[in-house]
Structure 1
């Protein structure tokens, strides 16, 4: 937790600006919290052992705390107002960040740990009750995984007229990925555009030489327009894997569309 209250005057204060001489408590449950400010971990507040705070973010990793502060710094440059860990008493929830552009408020949830669909729905429902739009930004743990469709569905939103998922990278900031760029086979944001089209063409030539049965129906159609399988356009050899659980090679789907 990066924000706490000073018990004497209800003033909110960030852990980076706090002093051990003061007494602090949680903005949500009002329980006493302890300032942890050392030379190794990022300054933060933690509930004293035995607390049953429902909104406590105990167990936050260093990456989560650092990422939240970095997002706070970045978003302050782009939005009219940014709040760090605001306490929403009406719904008893505390998002990581809230940002305002003009009259519109957005809730930012920076998610590093695994979270169930039920909890995502519950949190999102609470924010929407206050007419806040919600953006989930996924941390490093999610980027090291091969995300499946059910995970994409939990966090995707419509952004720039596409269904996309937001990721945080310290060197790049917020990176958006369209749903079709996440194939469930490669680690997120690890894929690079590669010159693999010649390799795919070589595999296709080998398939023709081996007289593989899946080649000939397409080749027969191409013969009618005086074309060959090995001469199909480069657009038929995608550099990224396509999602959707295809049971045939991607080039076959694309060439069928072009022929149609």
Structure 2
């Protein structure tokens, strides 16, 4: 933590003030004692003597977390009102950064329980705050979307499903957008990077909610998909066994399906638990997506577009 209270009840911010060595400091949330730590590797920060009675912090922060939080705060201050480690007593949380009055930025560098993430997000939402989670290196999007990463996904009609990543080493804010999954469960998407500290942070965070011109990419199809599915059935993959059972009820067999029957191979993410960051109704998007590709005559390639494209083209009956 970078902000604590001294014995006189004053807030001391290590990003803005020189802390006085020897003073006693306390957590702004729980009031428990914290120690000032200063070292060669990790920046000066406060750490709880004991986290046992603190409901605001579950663990002491990593060097990456402290570095990224400090950088974001200093960046935000250039163009906007920002508060570091803002205590929000009505929801018993401390926002890493409160941008303006109602936008909370949370830097998440380590894994956490999905239930805890959902609880924290809904607390923000119910109190009228918007929360943006920005992910540290251990949570970056790799080959596949984990169930936890799906709970960090946001949605916009202009860029589809997206999430934010922070890179402490290259000093970049990275947007992963138009996120889709193929039938192997692998991610296909676009990426855009922004240098930390350049331009208005608030303006960049609004990027996914602005109309983008010519936003499209060509997905990678698997021409040997049927062989892959046959192997999965041989090893009794729960996912493909469930598909096979459904087709049996319809009088069909998964192993006799043509490659075209699996079109489109690349699809928007699905989550049985829903998407806690997504407050819009995305039902029409899924329906428009499927309808568009079903009406295409050519099924040997697939171009991916933002949700507004499918809505517009189907409304105008341009296929």
Common topology (TM > 0.5):
yes
Contact 2:178–2:189 (8 Å) recurs in 1: no
Say whether 1:167 aligns with 2:168: no
- Give, in angstroms, the shift of residue 52 of structure 1: 2.1
**Alpha-carbon distance change, 118 to 42 in structure 1, aligned in 2, over 3 angstroms:** same
- Give, in angstroms, the shift of residue 9 of structure 1: 3.3
- Give, in angstroms, the shift of residue 167 of structure 1: 1.0
**Alpha-carbon distance change, 243 to 61 in structure 1, aligned in 2, over 3 angstroms:** farther
Segments of 5+ residues of structure 1 without an aligned counterpart are 191-195, 205-212, 219-240, 246-252
Q: Which has the higher contact order (CA 8 A, sep 6+)?
A: 2
SS at match of 2:30: coil
Superposed, which structure 2 residues align to 1:155-234 within 5 Å?
A: 155-159=152-156, 161=158, 162-170=160-168, 171=170, 173-180=172-179, 185=186
Superposed, which structure 2 residues align to 1:76-91 within 5 Å?
A: 76-78=77-79, 80-91=80-91
SS at match of 2:88: coil
Contact 1:143–1:187 (8 Å) recurs in 2: no
Contact 2:181–2:268 (8 Å) recurs in 1: no
Counterpart residue number, 2:38:
37
Say whether 1:4 aligns with 2:1: no
TM-score of the aligned structures, taking structure 1 as reference length: 0.67
Distance in 1 of aligned mates of 2:49 and 2:129: 32
- Give, in angstroms, the shift of residue 88 of structure 1: 0.8
Counterpart residue number, 2:22:
21
Counterpart residue number, 2:296:
257
TM-score of the aligned structures, taking structure 2 as reference length: 0.56
What CA deviation, in whole Å up to 9, does each residue of 1:87-140 have, x standing for no partner?
11112111211101xxx5201111111112211111112212321111111111
Counterpart residue number, 2:133:
136
- Give, in angstroms, the shift of residue 242 of structure 1: 3.5
Contact 1:5–1:27 (8 Å) recurs in 2: yes
- Give, in angstroms, the shift of residue 189 of structure 1: 8.3
Contact 1:136–1:155 (8 Å) recurs in 2: yes
**Alpha-carbon distance change, 182 to 39 in structure 1, aligned in 2, over 3 angstroms:** farther
Distance in 2 of aligned mates of 1:188 and 1:33: 43
- Give, in angstroms, the shift of residue 64 of structure 1: 1.3
- Give, in angstroms, the shift of residue 147 of structure 1: 3.8
Superposed, which structure 2 residues align to 1:236-255 within 5 Å?
A: 242-243=266-267
**Alpha-carbon distance change, 113 to 7 in structure 1, aligned in 2, over 3 angstroms:** same
Distance in 2 of aligned mates of 1:50 and 1:167: 28
**Alpha-carbon distance change, 58 to 117 in structure 1, aligned in 2, over 3 angstroms:** closer
Counterpart residue number, 2:98:
98
Counterpart residue number, 1:60:
61
- Give, in angstroms, the shift of residue 158 of structure 1: 2.8
**Alpha-carbon distance change, 34 to 44 in structure 1, aligned in 2, over 3 angstroms:** same
Contact 2:162–2:178 (8 Å) recurs in 1: yes
What CA deviation, in whole Å up to 9, does each residue of 1:214-233 have, x standing for no partner?
68x99xxxxxxxxxxxxxxx
Number of aligned positions between the proteins: 214
C-alpha RMSD over aligned residues: 3.8
Contact 1:107–1:133 (8 Å) recurs in 2: yes
- Give, in angstroms, the shift of residue 37 of structure 1: 1.0
Contact 1:144–1:187 (8 Å) recurs in 2: no
Say whether 1:107 aligns with 2:104: yes
**Alpha-carbon distance change, 187 to 76 in structure 1, aligned in 2, over 3 angstroms:** farther
Q: Which of the pair has more CA radius of gyration?
A: 1
Distance in 2 of aligned mates of 1:24 and 1:188: 46
